[in-house]
Amino acid sequence: MLELAQKYIDMGFSLLALSPNSKIPIMDKLLQPNGSKSATNNFNHIKKMFELYPKMNLGIATGQASGITVIDIDSPDAKIELQKNNIPDPKTRLHKTPRGWHVIIPYDAEIKQTAALLDKIDIRNDGGYIVCPPSQVDNIKYEVIRDGKPTREHELESFLKSQGTLNGRSGTHRAPPVTPDNKTPDWVRNLISNGSAEGDRNSQGASLAGYWRNRGTSYDDAFGIMMAYADKCDPPMAEDEVRRTVDSIWRYEPTNNMFPYQDNR
């Protein structure tokens, strides 16, 4: 892991320490105080993290921090959908994830970070990060399929930008990956549909994340729900703010306790 960490840094990537067998950033008040915002290209810093957390995973910050934009294709069906739209298989740097692929291209500010831009296709850009090989989540390893520096994927990039425009504006989120059912409380439905005002976004967002955590929702699905909520807030919440909220809730095991916002409803 340390050898690869040095290689990633030499490629210009900024790295994060993630919890073992997990996607969640390690919260260390001294070495990684700001979670996903604490990415670094200092090898000695990463080495120190490994000394303290020898089983940790590695993450790569996306966007300007590492000079990359990542298209997260989260299922074979999503890949087939791209092929139906005459998008050729990528030739750039490619990682295998437990459920799909990370297509890594040079940083493109016009492809905004978003969850569910298309079904099972997310964008990781400014404020985001990806798990990188040879880390593992749920005991499944991430792998490098095609090594080397990221290169442009012009057809894919143009297609994704057009989809963002069709959705109303670049970066607008589609429906959350988990649809509320008859058991979903009214306050949860209301937040997902209408968002929150500026003074309430963080506290109500934490309650919303806590609700899905307690229901046993996966981290990825909860993050998609929270991005849908964030887009409805006034003003919308930034991606990195949403990530910090979800990460803070996912540090704790699910409980049956009601969250404050629920109690107030």
Instruction: Give tens-digit pLDDT for 95-118.
Output: 999 989 999 999 999 888 776 677
* pTM (two decimals): 0.73
Residue 27's identity, in one-letter code, is: M
What's the pLDDT score for residue 126? 87
- Burial of 210-221, coded b for 16+ CB within 10 Å and e otherwise, reads bbbbbeebebbe
Q: Which helix (H) or strand (E) holds 73?
A: strand 68-73
Number of Cβ atoms within 10 Å of the Cβ of 241:
16
What's the pLDDT score for residue 262? 42
Q: Which of 53 and 232 is assigned the larger pLDDT?
A: 53
Please give the average per-residue pLDDT across 17-43, as a whole number. 89
pLDDT band at 71 (very low <50, low <70, confident <90, very high): very high
Q: Scan for tokens 């409980």, then name that residue.
A: 255
Q: What would the pLDDT profile of 205-258 be if each residue is shown by its tens digit? A: 999 999 999 988 888 888 888 888 888 888 888 777 888 899 889 888 787 554
- Asked if 36 contacts 124 with a C-beta cutoff of 8 angstroms, the reply is no
Q: Which residues contact 241 (CB under 8 A, 6 or more apart)?
A: 202, 230
Q: Which of 49 and 112 is assigned the larger pLDDT?
A: 49
Q: Residue 172 above 60 pLDDT?
A: no
- Burial of 73-111, coded b for 16+ CB within 10 Å and e otherwise, reads bbeeebbebbeeeebeebebbbbbbeebbbbbbebbeeb
Q: Residue 119 above 70 pLDDT?
A: yes
What's the pLDDT score for residue 176? 64
What's the pLDDT score for residue 24? 83
Share of residues in the chain with pLDDT > 90 (%): 46
Question: In angstroms, rounded to a whole number, what is the distance separating the alpha carbons of residues 153 and 104?
Answer: 9
Number of Cβ atoms within 10 Å of the Cβ of 264:
11
- Asked if 178 contacts 229 with a C-beta cutoff of 8 angstroms, the reply is no
- Burial of 118-153, coded b for 16+ CB within 10 Å and e otherwise, reads bebbbbbbbbbbbbbbebbbeeeebeeeeeeebeeb
